[in-house]
Amino acid sequence: MSVALLSTGEEVLTGETVDTNSAWLASSLWDVDVDVRFMCTVGDALSDLVDALGLAAARAPVVIMTGGLGPTEDDLTAEAVAMWAGVEREESAEALAQIEERYRARGRPISAANRKQAVVPVGSSVLENRWGSAPGFSLEFEGTTVFCLPGVPMEMKHMFAEWVVPGLTPLNPPTLVRMRTFGLAESRLQATVGALDLGDAVLGFRAHIPEVQIKLRFPSRTDPDQRKDVVGRVAGVLGPALYTIDGGDLAETVVAALSAQGQTLALAESCTAGMISSWVANVPGVSSVLMNGFVLYSNESKVQLLGIPESLLAEHGAVSEPIARAMAEHARAKSGTDWGVGITGIAGPGGGSDAKPVGTVHIAVAGPAGVVHRHAVIPGDRMQVRLRAAGAVLHLLHCQLG
């Protein structure tokens, strides 16, 4: 099975909006052993949309098209698909009923513009959108099936799982194992894992700051014991860089570990400015784990809110091992938690020096057995430094949790 992807919209073509849909779809299709043979971004011009459909259909028997299902004049997906297939368009009673139901649930009537979203190519199958107002549709023409999904990522992902995957997944789907790592570059992982005997597994990677995922796709015929051996072999060379197999991200993994042990956490952040607290707080059930979060940019706030001695700041400076340790210890003591975390650094682009260049970060984790500290100079722009630093904090904490 192979698929072509079409992402539509002037905002995507101009770079105003990043096309995350195609990347997500390509990764999700790889996971179920479906190859993407063609990927194209096209604007809102009708002739360009029709041309792009022709190109996509020539390369794969299935086309997934995202965007252009809204109520405005530049939403032309239905018109483009009808022109490509040489059919008329019609108002679908099924699609209209779905739209009316969505707006009735919100206590609002539909407008003429919303009614436009019920107009689809003749011969289409309507794909219900229970997560938004715009139904999708699919149409088969000359051996090619086109699935038209909303451009809103959340809606698209749900509809892909609901309507597209069942028709693409083979009768005996592969088994996918995801191994999530922190601290090793993709190139190093490729060299390390790629040198192993992986049996009949297909190796893939997904780099997403601050982590890199290793994906092992095993054919359905693979013996479970052989699969277990391969996964164990990979885990053995990864060491502490591997933090979960088929689990959640760093925040989810840390919260799950703390919850399982009935332990609590307090965070003291400088250069990440609440990023770690926000990340952890996105995990359901975190309220039983996260007790406090302190954002401490100035020296005064470190003194006033945490009680760090002014003499310590004067002697070592805010970006230093003693301050990171003090932040972790004082956050833990003030909050009465099992664990305290401290992070301080220079995210850039300014503020660095020869002794403390941009990217310098000190992190510390205080727990029942004492304080553990790590120092790094992290590459990247301001956001990348902060994301990687946040990951480093949670990874260090996870290592201490055992």
DSSP, residue by residue, 374-398: EEEE--SSHHHHHHHHHHHHHHHHH
Q: What is the C-alpha to C-alpha distance for residues 181 and 395, in angstroms, rounded to an integer?
A: 9
Model confidence pLDDT, tens digit, residues 231-247: 999 999 999 999 999 99
Q: What is the C-alpha to C-alpha distance for residues 309 and 314, in angstroms, rounded to an integer?
A: 9
Enter the DSSP assignment of 160.
Answer: I
- Residue ending a domain, choose from 245, 274, 289: 245
Name the pLDDT band for 173 (thresholds 50, 70, 90): confident
Q: Where do runs of H (alpha helix) occur along 127-267?
A: 153-159, 165-168, 186-194, 224-238, 250-261
Name the pLDDT band for 71 (thresholds 50, 70, 90): very high
Residue 349 preceded by cis peptide, ω within 30:
yes
Model confidence pLDDT, tens digit, residues 179-196: 999 999 999 999 999 999
67 close to 155: Cβ distance less than 8 angstroms = no
Q: What is the C-alpha to C-alpha distance for residues 132 and 69, in angstroms, rounded to an integer?
A: 11
Question: What are the DSSP E strand ranges found in 92-247?
Answer: 119-121, 125-127, 136-141, 144-149, 175-181, 202-208, 211-218, 242-245
- 13 with 132, same domain: the answer is yes
Name the pLDDT band for 333 (thresholds 50, 70, 90): very high
Cβ contacts of residue 192 below 8 Å, gap of 6+? 184, 237, 238
- 240 with 297, same domain: the answer is no
Model confidence pLDDT, tens digit, residues 210-228: 999 999 999 999 999 999 9
Report the percentage of the chain scoring pLDDT > 70. 100
Calculated CA dihedral for residues 292, 293, 299, 300, nearest 10 degrees: -50
What is the residue whose two structure tokens read 């179920």? 32
181 close to 241: Cβ distance less than 8 angstroms = yes
- Residue ending a domain, choose from 215, 245, 275: 245
Q: Is 0.75 surpassed by the pTM of this model? A: yes
127 close to 159: Cβ distance less than 8 angstroms = yes
- Domain around 332: 250-401
- 88 with 69, same domain: the answer is yes
Rounded alpha-carbon distances, angstroms, from residue 58 to 138, 172, 182, 227, 290: 17, 27, 41, 37, 53
- 224 with 338, same domain: the answer is no
pLDDT of residue 121: 98
- 237 with 281, same domain: the answer is no
Beta bridge partners of 3: 36, 62
Name the pLDDT band for 106 (thresholds 50, 70, 90): confident
- 220 with 332, same domain: the answer is no
Q: What is the C-alpha to C-alpha distance for residues 140 and 125, in angstroms, rounded to an integer?
A: 9
- 343 with 260, same domain: the answer is yes
- 201 with 162, same domain: the answer is no
Beta bridge partners of 91: 119
Name the pLDDT band for 335 (thresholds 50, 70, 90): very high
Rounded alpha-carbon distances, angstroms, from residue 78 to 4, 295, 340: 18, 49, 55
- 218 with 240, same domain: the answer is yes
State the CATH number of the domain containing residue 211: 3.30.70.2860
- Alpha carbon 248 to chain centroid distance? 11
pLDDT of residue 233: 97
Domains identified in the chain, total number: 3
In the predicted model, is pLDDT for residue 97 greater than 80? yes
Phi, psi at residue 269, to the nearest 5°? -120, 135
What is the residue whose two structure tokens read 């049996």? 199
- 206 with 342, same domain: the answer is no
- Sheet with 211-218, strands from edge to edge, namely 202-208, 211-218, 175-181, 242-245
In the predicted model, is pLDDT for residue 171 greater than 80? no
pLDDT mean across residues, the chain: 96
- 24 with 143, same domain: the answer is yes
Beta bridge partners of 212: 181, 207
Average pLDDT over residues 284-299: 96
Q: What is the C-alpha to C-alpha distance for residues 310 and 172, in angstroms, rounded to an integer?
A: 65
- Residue ending a domain, choose from 153, 168, 183: 168
361 close to 385: Cβ distance less than 8 angstroms = yes
pLDDT of residue 236: 97
Q: What is the C-alpha to C-alpha distance for residues 28 and 60, in angstroms, rounded to an integer?
A: 17
- 124 with 198, same domain: the answer is no
pLDDT of residue 112: 86
